[in-house]
Amino acid sequence: MAEFTLELNDDQKQVRDWLHGFAEDVMRPAAAEWDEREETPWPIIQEAAKIGIYSLDFYAQQFFDPTGLGIPMAMEELFWGDAGIALSIVGTGLAAVGVLANGTEEQIGTWIPQMYGDVDDVKVAAFCSSEPDAGSDVASMRTRAVYDEANDEWVLNGTKTWATNGGIANVHVVVAVVDPEIGSKGHASFIVPPNTPGLSQGQKFQKHGIRASHTAEVVLEDVRVPGHCLLGGKEKLDERLARAREKAKAGGGERVKNAAMATFEASRPAVGAMAVGTARAAYEVALDYAKTREQFGRPIIDNQGIAFQLADMRTQIDAARLLVWRASWMATTGKPFTSAEGSMSKLYASEVAKKVTGQAIQILGGNGFTREYPVERMHRDAAIYTIFEGTSEVQRLVIARTLSGMPIR
């Protein structure tokens, strides 16, 4: 078991510097353009693929880093570059995590490579969980999956929303209800292979921030997928459902993780790291500006009102990073989140990102409110962190329930 340390090793530092160079030289110069275009930045994704950043091997290396710091370090650097472009590069990872968390070895080996494609023909993947009437309330999910035993196929019907890469993905991972009688315990995840009839893109959303990332509805109309596309397999699903039904009959309160929650639990510290990257980027712009911008004959950082803001911003960013690193280390080393440490990291880092980017605009004054400076875009991008993959309110609910052991509503 790797010992916890706050010092990155030489290999990690090399990867960090490599990612930082890509973020600085490739992503940042293109950030404003793709934000305005509100389109998937395929050329940037392909550039990332050419040097090995957008690939299964790269994410596997970071995911299996024995310290747990590979993924958060990578997320921070890429989102320091630009949140919208970075989400286009890493958005496939959520679908990949969904397969890793719930799939068999054969499913992992078959489908994850198809999510990324290759250097000459890059692909993306989508994880589809949220619905128009079921975001944080996963128990209200309406998308159904019915097993056709005669053909060994699952038939999916429903509408998913807020899906990153939804509709343009090569592979979709869809969470659906297989047994509505047992609530969220009756959910399962399915692979929808490329070009499967019945799957289509619904509304593409025009967003406040992260506009270079494609977000859309996914409509499923009598979508038939082979039995082997059920993540984990039918035998495992049947066993899990049987246990849940028995507990329901007995009035038991055992918690059974559903497929969507298993994915979100694994990804929350990574989202916290994304928020840290955006916050750090805005802080650095504000710091540089405060040291060079003069008012009343001196740099504005000479004023306590500005200097103290910057001190608080840096302190909060470092505190957020430490929470993210702790949760990531705990997850990698198998330590249980007895105090909802994963949710803590995502909650605090996302709130810090919103606050710090807002303070950066204030420090830049009128300039910060214009698109000539990047903090305006960073502030818009930061708004998503307190919303997606569990709102701040949901994170607080998870933390409170974990600490108290009570079914707080």
Residues annotated catalytic, as ranges: 389
Distance of alpha carbon 314 from the chain centroid: 24
CA atoms within 13 A on the CB side of 52: 8
Cα–Cα dist 353/278, whole Å? 6
Neighbours of 214 (CB within 10 A): 26
Structure tokens at 30: 């293109």
Q: Which long-range contacts (CB under 8 A, 24 or more apart) does 110-116 make?
A: 111/171, 111/191, 112/56, 113/56, 114/170, 114/171, 114/193, 114/194, 115/56, 115/169, 115/170, 115/171, 116/49, 116/54, 116/55, 116/56, 116/92
Structure tokens at 68: 């747990």
Q: Nearest-5° angle of CA 149, CA 155, CA 159?
A: 160
Structure tokens at 9: 């090793």
Cα–Cα dist 359/274, whole Å? 18
Cα–Cα dist 149/300, whole Å? 71
Structure tokens at 287: 């710091």
CA nearest to 81, candidates 317, 285, 319: 285
Torsion on CA atoms 179, 181, 187, 192, rounded to nearest 10: 40
Cα of first residue to Cα of last residue in the chain, in angstroms, is: 38
